Structures are given as structure tokens and as C-alpha cells.
Structure 1
């Protein structure tokens, strides 16, 4: 049985996937300039689409099928890659009840634009029903509904969920029939179909008082960031959680008022153990985020990083008296020019900063630093261990202390 001492990462708050705040540009009215979105991430759009981009993919045509737009008016396109098998639901919530959002979903391929132009593309789901004030104009795909489509006029505001497979890509087109809308939120959920056939157990204690903590424990899929299961430790700090076997996962433990901790785990047996020692939040602490991942040799943040980024956003919103320094680290590859690694690590830290700013965190609370491969956590040649050197660290700074120093 393997006992792991977890690594402290961030402060515990009630987990929810923080909204990514974005603005819709006119170009996003075209499929060729669709906005990239991901399942299980909440998006808030500060404006509604106005116009249809440079191409009206759905010009007025009264003879189209009843479940397809008769005319494209004020549209935005989204592209959603699917990283795991599952069942997809989503909800559009208008910020103004005067807006009326219709939508269609297509399976994306490089031929889709031409097929739409020829009126031969068929949406896998759509809802063009008249807005219903009883549900505040909300629409989407929701459990409990059996209809794949909803045609114009009075009808159901929601259509049934969509079963998706890993490797699928979906194209969403959303149309507001009214001009100058007030924006909307887009919330999707991809429930997993990953078998949870193993058990992980352990104990959560306070590192300062050595007392048990009845904290929450969450299991996330490492490759997609999708939450697979969660549980709460009992009053003795003991927990048991269902997890998959032979699949990389992230285990997170948190308790109110304490830094949360995370551990990368891959079980190769039916039962295993991970213990957590949670630290209270203290100015000057460094938090290690192993699960912010980037494309190789790039500063492009990968979708499975969003849960950790969301937790960071929640921390900054819950603790406005703290600023942070975002520190990027790479490996210490002796065959790579060290200046390049330092620049890459700085650009990656800056990419995290930009994501936080886009989510409403003030820029003056954030600073960046790149360390390259100068501060490795391990010299192990085992790839799984060596990967821990590729990380982002967050150094907590008290705003009050900084103000005293400046004075």
C-alpha cells in the first residue's frame, strides 16, 4: 500500500468552475472564426452577437427544415472539442429577458462550412422555440427532455442531452433574433462514462494543530479535467472515494480556511491510500500547481488545466487582501539553451496571468517570473517524477504588508 504526503497548493473554498469572461467580436459570427470553448467551463459573455460576421451562412430561406434557422441574424459560433466519452448538457442564460436565443449544434468536420452553404448539413440538436419568460429565457440541452429539436413558435425551451465520444468536435451556432442584447452565460456539463472500479482512502489532518479535518475530497480526470467523484471526510478526517484504475487522476483535498492540497495518482490496484496534511493560509506561502499544463514548447494552456486555474480564481476572489507572483518552471534539459527555457517559463506564467485578468482579477494584483529549469524539484530520470519540474508556482503576498513597505 502506497502512502503519499500531498503537496499544498491553494486555499480551500467552495468549488465551482469559475466563469471565463469574454467579449464576442463580429468575426465570431463566422464558423471560420469560432470561439474555442470547453466542457465543464462556465463562460460569461459581456455582449450579445450583433450581425453575422462577414458571411451569412444561413441567408433567408423559408423552405429550410423547421429545425434549422430560416435566417441568420445575430450569431456567434463556438467550437467545442470533446476529451472523453460522456453525456453533454448545456444552458444559455440571457442577462436580459428581452433576448431570444436560438441555437443549433453540428458535428464539426472540415466539410461543414460547404455542407451548410449547400443546405445539406443536419444539426444533431437544435432549439428554435419561442423564448419562455417562465424560465427567464433560458435554453439548452437538459436531462428530462426527449426532443432532439424544438421548432419555431411556442414549445420546449430545452432539447435532450447529447451522447458524445472522445475525439468528437462540436460546432455551436447561437442566434439572438433581437439586436443589441445584454449578453449571456454559457454553462456546459460533460458527465463522465469512466468506470470507477477502485477505492482510494486516507486521512486529512491540520499540519498546524495535528487535528483531523472533515474536508472535501475530489477526484478529477487528469487528461480532461472532468470531475469524476467527490466525498467528504468524517469527523475523524477519514475518507473513501471511488476512482478509476490504470488512469491518471488528480486528487484534491480542501477544508475551509486551509490551503488545499493536490496529488497526481494512477492506481494499479483496487485499493490505495493518500493522506493529506493541510496548512492554514499564511502570507509568504508558495503554492505549487502541477496541473496547469501547456502544449510542448509553447505557452498555450491546455483544457485540462482549467480546474486548477478556476481554483486559483476562486482563491483570489475570496482573499482580496492577497496579491500573487506567478512563477513558471520548466525542466532542466542540458541540451536546451537555458535562456530559451527562462523565456518559455516566463511566457507560461504570463499566459496564466492573462487568463486570470480575463476572469475579472485586477492586473495590479498579479506579477510574473520565469525560472526556467534552474529550480528542479527532482533529479529523477523517471519521466513521471521528472514531469513535476514542469510546474507553475504561486507566491502569496499580503497587500497590507506591501503597502507598509511602500510607505
Structure 2
């Protein structure tokens, strides 16, 4: 993203099924070193900001507008790229009752830093009210509030939600007016403004018994990972779900005792059909994760992969008696050296392993393998179909079997 090219982004150090856990470095008190955050991912900060970085971007000025910081004390900057149209809400929850978090949001541009220095930058939302003990000092933007700003002193803890557009980038600056704070959580929600104009129908069947399953069906936007809709199949395994038209989406089927399954589709008409055959949780069965995506020719997991990673974490926590093999696959490009593809697929499997370990999954439960392009699911030359070869597979291994072999 070009507007972020000059920004030094602090990379997250951990990832969980609810988000990321981070430590704030002093440098993040400057806009030039903002922390990259994304909607619909919850962040937990183990410490409160200390000081204002290397530059006091808001030096003391009692004559500054009432909805702007009079003085920057202990700040951290966030940058939030917006990947879809929607309505944004968020909440800051202090971990210490003695903390008082104020905040402002600006629409980011290459001029923002200079405009702040000239005192001409105007926040699009802010809240500088005194913390309210009845809500444990929480603050943010919440449905039901109409005020754009909240000025110093007793007042509203929350401000009006913000309508955002795809391609926007928001700059948050958060200030704890007290030193040595106890950290905080930052939870944001970008709610759907994508029209659901098509009907998806289908059936969920057990692959082992061939009987219908009353499982859950979820629709997620492929580019952002945002959940768009969900439903539950009836006792006959039949479901009906509203989905967008002409937009890449992920459809997920889940049922207790079975491995979840995902399908990447794009509905091009008012109605379509997708059926699911779910495999039971038994050693040797596999999950094919089409929705774990990587940067081209790299092992960096893309943010729209987080929902599938989360589901895998939840699955492993629900079935602690199983270990897994993580198997990476690439396409079978005849113009690329096969050894390179094998290594790339292995590194990608290892990247998934690292995410799982960072979220409390024991390393002893995880092994990795790279298959390169040796096991394609399709030989189709159609790009949409060929992309299915770029995948991660998870094979279940029963713990007792592993011990007996040893």
C-alpha cells in the first residue's frame, strides 16, 4: 500500500484465536513508527505507553481546540488500513482502574504529520472525557452514541461509530495521561456493508455414515476475513444462506465431532449450490485449508488467513488427544525448480506451525512437511481452479499411536 511506504511498522510478536498480544515500544509514540492494526482482530498490550516517542507531536498548548489533546503525555500510534466498506466501532479496555486513556482518530495522508505540527489537522473522532468507573474506564466508538467528540471532564465515554471506505487508512493516537499504566486491550469491529443479494443452498453430509448433519455454515469475505453471514442446517442437513454476488467469498461448514471444511467460491448469479461432506475426527483424516494465503514466493501469512488459522487453533484445543502434520503445497510450475517449490511449501507449513505455538499449542504436537507441486488437486489451466493447488493440509495423528511407535 503506497501511503504506508514511509511508515515503519512494528511487527506483531504473537497471535491468538482472539487476536494478538504485543508490547509497546517507546518509538511507537511517534506517527512515523505507528503499529499496524487491522479491523476485527483484538489486540492485548502488556504495557501502557511511556512517554511520547522521540517527538512530542502535541506539545502543551492550552489554547488548542477542546477536542484535541492539550498535551501529549504517554502515547502510542496505530495505523489501520480499511479493506472494505463498513461501519467501524472499537473499544479500549484499561487493565488498571487507575488509567485514563484518551484518543483521537485522523484520516491518514502523507501530509498528516506536517498538518499536526502546524496545529491544522482535525480529528474525525476523539474522546478526551474523564474515565467512567461504571464502565471500568472503557472508551471508544460504540453504537447508540451520536457525539463525534467528547471534551475534557465528565462526559460520554464513547463516541459515534465511523463509516469507512475501502482504501482508507486511519491513524489512531492513544494517550494515557498517567505514567506506569497497566496495559490495555484494543478491540475493533468493521461491520458488514457488503450487500447480500444471492442465496446459497446446499447440504451437509457425514462422509463416514452418509447421514445428514445439522452443522453451522459461515460466509466470510475472502479479501478481509470479515464474517458476512451464518446459519445452521436443519435436521436434514439442508441450509440456506445469503451471500454477496460477484465477490470472492469463503464458505465454512462445521459440526461437532467432525473436521471443518472450507470452500472458496464466487457466486455469479442470484442462486448457487455448495454441498459439504465432512470427515469425522479420526486419525489419518485431513483438513484442506484453502483459505490460508501467503505472500507470493514467500512464507508470510496474509491477514485474511487469520479466520482459518483461528479455527485450527480452536480445533486443536478442542481435541488435545490429537497431534497434526502440517503439509504445505504449491502449484506445479514447470518453469520453477522443483527443489525451490518443495522448500517454499515446507517454509509455509513451518509458518503455520509458528502461529500455533505462539497461541499455546505445544510444539510436540506439530510436525511439518513440504510437498511442493507434486500432489496437485487439479490440472485445470483455469486460474480460479488452479489456485486450489496452493493450500495447506492438516493430517490428524492420534497421540497414543505416536507413543506406541516410539
Query: Taking structure 1 as the reference length, what is the TM-score of the superposition?
Result: 0.91
Taking the aligned partners of 2:226 and 2:311, their CA distance within structure 1 comes to 14
Please state how far the C-alpha of 1:17 moved relative to its aligned partner: 5.8
Taking the aligned partners of 2:358 and 2:393, their CA distance within structure 1 comes to 20
Taking the aligned partners of 2:140 and 2:85, their CA distance within structure 1 comes to 20
Aligned to 2:295: 295
Alignment of 1:29-108 (within 5 A): 29-108=29-108
Structure with greater contact order relative to length (CA < 8 Å, sep ≥ 6): 1
The unaligned stretches of length 5 or more in structure 2 are 1-15
Aligned to 1:125: 125
Taking the aligned partners of 1:361 and 1:56, their CA distance within structure 2 comes to 41
How has the CA–CA distance of structure 1 residues 284 and 74 changed in structure 2, closer, same or farther, with 3 Å as cutoff?
farther
1:150-209 C-alpha deviation (Å, 9 max, x unpaired) = 111111111110000000111111112222222222211111211111101111122222
Taking the aligned partners of 2:263 and 2:101, their CA distance within structure 1 comes to 42
**Corresponding residue SS for 1:305:** helix
How has the CA–CA distance of structure 1 residues 125 and 313 changed in structure 2, closer, same or farther, with 3 Å as cutoff?
same
How has the CA–CA distance of structure 1 residues 283 and 57 changed in structure 2, closer, same or farther, with 3 Å as cutoff?
farther
Please state how far the C-alpha of 1:309 moved relative to its aligned partner: 1.2
1:281-325 C-alpha deviation (Å, 9 max, x unpaired) = 112322211111122222222221111111112222223333333
The unaligned stretches of length 5 or more in structure 1 are 1-15
Taking the aligned partners of 1:180 and 1:319, their CA distance within structure 2 comes to 40
Aligned to 1:208: 208
- Asked whether the equivalents of residues 22 and 358 of structure 1 are also in contact (C-alpha less than 8 Å), the reply is no
Aligned to 2:229: 229
Please state how far the C-alpha of 1:140 moved relative to its aligned partner: 0.8
Taking the aligned partners of 1:404 and 1:49, their CA distance within structure 2 comes to 51
Aligned to 1:353: 353
How has the CA–CA distance of structure 1 residues 25 and 360 changed in structure 2, closer, same or farther, with 3 Å as cutoff?
farther
How has the CA–CA distance of structure 1 residues 151 and 399 changed in structure 2, closer, same or farther, with 3 Å as cutoff?
farther
**Corresponding residue SS for 1:259:** coil
How has the CA–CA distance of structure 1 residues 324 and 65 changed in structure 2, closer, same or farther, with 3 Å as cutoff?
farther
1:238-279 C-alpha deviation (Å, 9 max, x unpaired) = 111101111111111111222111111111221111111222
Taking the aligned partners of 1:375 and 1:106, their CA distance within structure 2 comes to 48
Q: How many residues align?
A: 391
Please state how far the C-alpha of 1:85 moved relative to its aligned partner: 0.7
Taking the aligned partners of 1:220 and 1:256, their CA distance within structure 2 comes to 20
Alignment of 1:1-400 (within 5 A): 18-400=18-400
How has the CA–CA distance of structure 1 residues 186 and 118 changed in structure 2, closer, same or farther, with 3 Å as cutoff?
same
Cα RMSD after superposing both structures: 1.8
Query: Taking structure 2 as the reference length, what is the TM-score of the superposition?
Result: 0.91
1:81-113 C-alpha deviation (Å, 9 max, x unpaired) = 111111111111222222221111111112222
How has the CA–CA distance of structure 1 residues 363 and 78 changed in structure 2, closer, same or farther, with 3 Å as cutoff?
farther
